[in-house]
Amino acid sequence: MLDQADRFGRNELHALSERMDREEWWPDDSFRKIGESGFFGATISPEFGGAGMDLLSAGLVLQGFARWNHALALSYVAHDNLCANNIYRNGNDFQRRKYLPDLCAGRTVGALGLTEPGAGSDALGSMRTTARRDGNDYILNGGKIYITNGPVADVLLVYAKTDREKGPHGISAFIVEKHFPGFKVAQKLTKMGYRGSPTAELVFEDCRVPAENMVGEENRGVSIVMSGLDLERAMISPLCLGISERALELSVDYARTRQQFGKPIGSFQMVQSMLADMYVQVEAIRMLTYRTLAEAAPLEVGGGGRGDIHKLTAASVMFAAEGCHKVLDLAVQVHGGSGYIWESEINRLFRSNKLMEIGAGTTEVRKMIIAGELLKGASRHG
């Protein structure tokens, strides 16, 4: 699986990455090619157009893609894991049959709408987007921000408050199509990294959504969010791994070929020390990433958001993001001046990393999750 994804990424995606970063360009046919090659829907049953595999397989695809085009890899995981897999795990048969075949084929682009302008780490408690019942529809009002794939998405899984009094336990999930009246992309956001993966602010102004598009039960969206976040965190780690692998490969190649003082810089022990540190970091990320994907793969619907898996997924993405940061910092150091030039591939990778320390819960939130679960365990056994 990893070899196939790596080959596809090298042959089909790598050539797109430089223009995507330079122009914030979105290649319209890329998802269709990914879908035709069978890489979407790894976690989704063949009955609905998927491949019928598991989360580890999806993680390997992501890792392979991230080596060659990390921006498309990010859009891939937002589409396949955050949108399609969430609909598969939590939707009913009508919703699965209506939306999943096109998502798995890459004919439509998916996104997840959770974060709001006034609510980052406290995404649930501070959620202001509302949904009220009106006959056979719900009327959505509010906004979402930093939404990956937002400018190009056809199908969005959106969270809104259906009962304000219940706080986080008054949230419901809805499938919104881009042509629904009252939905619009307010603005496309310009980013430091992952520039080819389009990000948007979304607005809902009396957006009319059919009641049949509610995913799960009313006011039960919190379990979808929490288990989905655990899977998302497990799936960010292979993104960091693929980027780290590519940075190490580029650095080793550069150290072999770059001449200083009449010999390759790889012959200097200072440079060798950096390469050795990078290798150890990459292998450590690999071990924790694979272990976490394997343990998260059989997670039951609503089974996340607590316990060992909640702690482990937070640990995995925290370690992978911080490790990737270290690898990329050393990679730019090995490359010297050429690594500081905007157009270089290593610079493109370096600018990407900070997002992984912020998205799907910041590093600080991950530490809170880990410590909270450890202390709960201590009180259970105390």
Pairing verdict, β 199-210 and 183-189: antiparallel
Provide the H-helix boundaries in 49-152. 55-68, 70-77, 86-90, 93-105
Q: Contact at 8 Å (CB) between 327 and 218? A: no
Alpha carbon distance 198, 82 (integer Å): 15
Taking the C-alpha atoms of residue 270 and residue 281, their distance in angstroms, rounded to an integer, is: 17
Beta strands in the chain (DSSP E): 110-113, 130-134, 137-148, 155-161, 171-177, 183-189, 199-210, 214-215, 259-260, 263-264
Contact 327, 295 (CB under 8 A): no
Q: What CA–CA distances, in Å, run from 57 to 4, 65, 195, 366?
A: 11, 13, 26, 24
Phi, psi of 16 (to 5 degrees): -85, -20
Structure tokens at 123: 């995404």
**Catalytic positions:** 232
